[in-house]
């Protein structure tokens, strides 16, 4: 079946540090992959997505590359800011339709 495994948190980084949040998936066929961000007290917001192998999604300095050979979609940012503090969710959509599968979320805190 489909599933997403995401690196455990919480993660605490200093401002301007490099961020990597690991995400691996199990899926049949060719899923689409997503990163969502949830700021405190808010709903989820789409951060970036990739719909086929080798696609790179990017937004607000965050990047993730759809790696079919390693079934991964790791989130990276070169220099984090305090405003990036949030919970990040990796997700996939199965190729049979609109069922979505989310990872457990990784809480990121960036300290000045």
Partner 1 sequence: DSGVTQTPKHLITATGQRVTLRCSPRSGDLSVYWYQQSLDQGLQFLIQYYNGEERAKGNILERFSAQQFPDLHSELNLSSLELGDSALYFCASSRSYRGYQDTQYFGPGTRLTVL
Residue ranges binding partner 1 (CB under 8 A): 31-32, 41-46, 49, 51, 89, 93-95, 97-105
Least distance CB 44 / partner 1 (angstroms): 5
Task: Considering the complex, state which of residue 18 and residue 30 has its C-beta at the smaller distance from partner 1.
Answer: 30
Distance CA 107, CA 11 (A): 6
Q: How far is the CB of 17 from partner 1 (least distance, A)?
A: 26
- In whole angstroms, give the CA distance from residue 75 to residue 23: 8
CB of 77 to partner 1, least distance (A): 20
In the complex with partner 1, the residue whose CB is nearer, 15 or 48, is 48
Quick one: 97 or 112, whose CB is closer to partner 1?
97
DSSP states of 18-59: -EEE-EEEE-SS--EEEEEEE-TTS-EEEEEEE-STT-EEEE
Q: Measured in Å, how far apart are the chain's first and last C-alpha atoms?
A: 41
């Amino acid at each position: 079946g489909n599933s997403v495994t995401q690196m455990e948190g919480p993660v605490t980084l200093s401002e301007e540090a490099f961020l990597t949040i690991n995400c691996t998936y199990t899926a049949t066929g060719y899923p689409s992959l997503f990163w969502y961000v949830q700021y405190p007290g808010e709903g989820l917001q789409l951060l970036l997505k990739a719909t086929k192998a080798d696609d790179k999604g990017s937004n607000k300095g965050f990047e993730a590359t759809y790696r079919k050979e390693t079934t991964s979609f790791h989130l990276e940012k070169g220099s984090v800011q305090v405003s990036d503090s949030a919970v990040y969710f990796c997700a996939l959509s199965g190729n049979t339709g609109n069922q979505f599968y989310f990872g457990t979320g990784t809480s990121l805190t960036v300290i000045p």
